[in-house]
Amino acid sequence: MLLAAADPQAVRAAAEALAAGELLAFPTETVYGLGARADDDAAVQRIYSAKGRPAAHPLIVHAADAEQARRFAASWPAAAQALAQAFWPGPLTLILPRAPALAHAAAGGQATIGLRVPSHALAQALLQEVHRLGVPGVAAPSANRFGRVSATTAAHVLQEFGDALQVLDGGECPGGIESAIVDCSGAMPALLRPGLLSRARIEAVLGARLRDRDEASPRASGGLRSHYAPAARLRLMSTQQMRDALELLGPQASKLRLAVYSRSQLRAGRGVEQRRMPDDPAAAAHQLFAALRGFDAAGVQLIWVEQPPESADWEGVRDRLTRAAAD
C-alpha cells in the first residue's frame, strides 16, 4: 500500500503506523528501508520475519539527528563525534558500543549498535514525527528480502514484500547504494562497508587511514561474500574479455538469455538485453540496483558486467558488483 508523499497526511499516517508497532518502508538518500520502532522487540521481530533474515544479524537504528542517535550508544568516541559532525545527516552508518538497556532485538543481541541519521527530506520528516510520538529511533535494514538486491523505488519494495506492506513513496532514491559503515567501537575506526561516501572523505575527517574489516570486526551481512545478488548469474569481465566473448558468440548470443551492462560501447547483437553503465560513479550507483532488477524482470539467465574502474570513487559500486558476482 503506497502512501503518496504529496499527501500532507502521508508522513503523519506513516509515523503513526510505526508508533503503533507496524512495519513501514520509507525512502532514504541511499535505498529504501524497512522500518519498525527500535524500542519494540516484537515490532523488530516483524522485520526479521518479513526479510527472512537470521535473527543474529544486527539492524541499523535511524534517528532524526545526532543527539537522538547517540542515546543508543554507551560511549561516543572522538572519531564518532567528528564523523557525525561532518557527515550527518547523510549516507554514513556508525557502529558504536550499545547502551545495554536499549534495542536488544534491533542489535541482533550484539553489544554494538549501528546508527544512522539520513538526510532524505521524507526520512527526516518521518523521523522527526515519530520522535514527537515518543519513538526513540527506527530500526531499518534495506527493504529487500535477505541476500537480494536493495530497493530504490517504492514499486521495488512492493515487489519484494507484496502490496499489503505500507510504503511511504518518495520516488527514486537519489543515491542508489547503501551507506558507508564505519566501526567506531574499537581502538581504530574500520570501514566495514564502502558506500556513497568515499573512503577518502572519511579519512580526511579522521586524519587517519581506515582499517579494513578483519577477524575482530563486528559481523555485517553486507560483508557476506554473496549478497546483493540478482536472480540471474552475474559475471564481471574486463572490456577485452567481453568483446572477445561477444565476438565468439556472434548470433548465438541471442540463445543465451544474456544481458550486457557496460560503460564501453559494445556490439552485442540481437536478442541480448543491453544497457550502458554511466561513466560517472554517482550516476552508476544511482541506477545499479534498478538495472539489475530490470535484467531479472526481462528474464535473462546471465548478466555480463564490464568491470568498473579501479579508482577510489568507484569503490562502492565495485563492492556491490563483486558481491553480486560471488557464488
Inter-axis angle of helices 281-297 and 154-161, to 10 degrees? 40
| Least gap, CB of 79 to ligand TXA (angstroms) | 15
Q: Which of residues 134-153 bind Mg ion (CB under 5 A)?
A: 142
Query: Which residues are CB-neighbours of 85 under 8 A, at least 6 positions away?
Result: 66
| Least gap, CB of 123 to ligand TXA (angstroms) | 8
Grid cell, residue 73, equals 550508544
Give 46 or 257: the residue with its C-beta nearer to Mg ion: 46
Give the integer Cα–Cα distance in Å for 132 and 142. 24
Give 144 or 307: the residue with its C-beta nearer to Mg ion: 144
Give the integer Cα–Cα distance in Å for 262 and 275. 7
Task: Give residue for cell 533474515.
Answer: 53
CA angle 240, 293, 227 (to 5 degrees): 80
With CB cut-offs between 5 and 8 Å by kind, which of ligand TXA, Mg ion, none does residue 152 bind?
none
Give 179 or 307: the residue with its C-beta nearer to ligand TXA: 179
CA angle 154, 308, 287 (to 5 degrees): 15
With CB cut-offs between 5 and 8 Å by kind, which of ligand TXA, Mg ion, none does residue 237 bind?
none
Give 93 or 142: the residue with its C-beta nearer to Mg ion: 142
| Least gap, CB of 181 to ligand TXA (angstroms) | 5
With CB cut-offs between 5 and 8 Å by kind, which of ligand TXA, Mg ion, none does residue 219 bind?
ligand TXA
Query: Which residues are CB-neighbours of 296 under 8 A, at least 6 positions away?
Result: 230, 231, 232
With CB cut-offs between 5 and 8 Å by kind, which of ligand TXA, Mg ion, none does residue 218 bind?
ligand TXA
| Least gap, CB of 146 to ligand TXA (angstroms) | 9
With CB cut-offs between 5 and 8 Å by kind, which of Mg ion, ligand TXA, none does residue 181 bind?
ligand TXA
Q: Is 93 a binder of Mg ion (CB under 5 A)?
A: no
Which residues would be at the binding site for ligand TXA (CB under 6 A)? 28, 30-31, 33, 57-60, 93, 95, 107, 110, 112-114, 116, 140-142, 178-179, 181, 192, 218-222
| Least gap, CB of 32 to ligand TXA (angstroms) | 6
Instruction: Say whether 232 sits in a helix, a strand or coil.
Output: coil
Give the integer Cα–Cα distance in Å for 64 and 96. 17
C-alpha torsion 244→247→250→255, nearest 10: 20
Give 89 or 141: the residue with its C-beta nearer to ligand TXA: 141
| Least gap, CB of 104 to ligand TXA (angstroms) | 12
Query: Which residues are CB-neighbours of 308 under 8 A, at least 6 positions away?
Result: 263, 277, 281, 284, 314, 317, 318, 321
Kindly list the residues in this chain that would bind Mg ion in the complex (CB under 5 A): 142
